[in-house]
Amino acid sequence: MKFHYGESMTAIDNYLPLAKAAEEMGYDGFLIPDSLIYPKASDTAYSYTEDGGRSFLENKAFVESFILAAAMVGATTRLEFTTNVVKLPVRPPLYSAKLATSLAALSHNRFNFGVGLSVWPEDYAVMGVPWEKRGKRMDECIAIVKGLGTGDYFEFHGEFFDLPPVKLNPVPSKPLPILIGGHSDQALKRAALHDGFLYAGGPPGEIWDVLEKLHGFRRAAGTQDKAYRIFASGVTDYSPESIARHAEAGVTDMSVVFRNLYAVEEDAQPLAEKLDLMKAFADNVIAKA
């Protein structure tokens, strides 16, 4: 099992010390969230809170995912970084490919490109992208990112995008891992076709049903024997028995954070306290896993 630190929505000056400490303490990676804007008015429910509210996001700092990842890559030598998740369909896919492949190349393959749809129509509206057919748009974006990630000339002719033969340089020496977020059946079917799945957390016990579906979709797609990673966030039990049960269910990576990220209040946890909690987990769980 690999362990990733999942702090987010904290003071921006905390990130580099936290990344350096995570590497020194034996963590394997760092998860990086994505958020574009916070609309003043919205009636859209958020999928991952009990009441559908998203007021916890207001006044929280979200550094652009690629900028934050690049800064932390430069401050570390071993830690890997995973976006959790970039809202891919609202961004130009060629530019997303350029950012992701450049970061993977600069980091010597320490970047995993976690992507998702975005559950909020406002993200699409402000970026000038139609909300309709967002899943199909997502699939075309992924195809373009993967195609350009080879470093060879690549052309694409789809419903939403049309590219003449072009290539990117540099690209990473290994294929850029594409991990998919989202808990809907369609998201799980999409995840089954690519390199991994990011479970965002949910009610107790939900993860087992989600993973059972995912494995079924992988079998149906004929990808069940392909190398694959499953990230689990929102885990509350890190006992040896719980870690073993997650591993048996296919989980390869767990993320940890030592406060409630969904709290409306701004992060008041001092950096020193974060570091102490990270160290305790590293000593009591990671070192013994």
Residue range 47-87, pLDDT digits in tens: 767 777 778 888 889 999 999 999 999 999 999 999 999 99
Q: What's the pLDDT at 51? A: 76
Which residues, in sequence order, are bridge partners of residue 32?
83
Residue range 206-265, pLDDT digits in tens: 999 999 999 999 999 999 999 999 999 999 999 999 999 999 999 999 999 999 998 889
- Under DSSP, is residue 35 helix (H, G, I), strand (E, B) or coil? coil
Residue range 170-199, pLDDT digits in tens: 999 999 999 999 999 999 999 999 999 999
DSSP state, residue 44: P
Q: What's the pLDDT at 45? A: 79
> In angstroms, rounded to a whole number, what is the distance separating the alpha carbons of residues 131 and 145?
21
> In angstroms, rounded to a whole number, what is the distance separating the alpha carbons of residues 244 and 288?
12
- Stated as kind and residue range, the H or E segment containing 13 is none
Q: Pairing mode, if any, of strands 162-166 and 154-157?
A: antiparallel
Residue range 87-110, pLDDT digits in tens: 999 999 999 999 999 999 999 999
Q: What's the pLDDT at 179? A: 99
How many alpha carbons lie under 13 Å from residue 115 in its C-beta half-sphere?
27
Q: Count how many residues are written for the chain.
A: 289
> In angstroms, rounded to a whole number, what is the distance separating the alpha carbons of residues 237 and 199?
16
**226, two tokens:** 């392909």
Q: What's the pLDDT at 29? A: 99
**253, two tokens:** 């990576």
> What CATH class does 2-288 carry?
alpha beta
Q: What's the pLDDT at 2? A: 99
Kindly write down the DSSP assignment for every residue of 210-234, as one continuous string.
HHHHHHHHHHHHT-TTS--EEEE-S
The mean pLDDT value of the chain amounts to 96
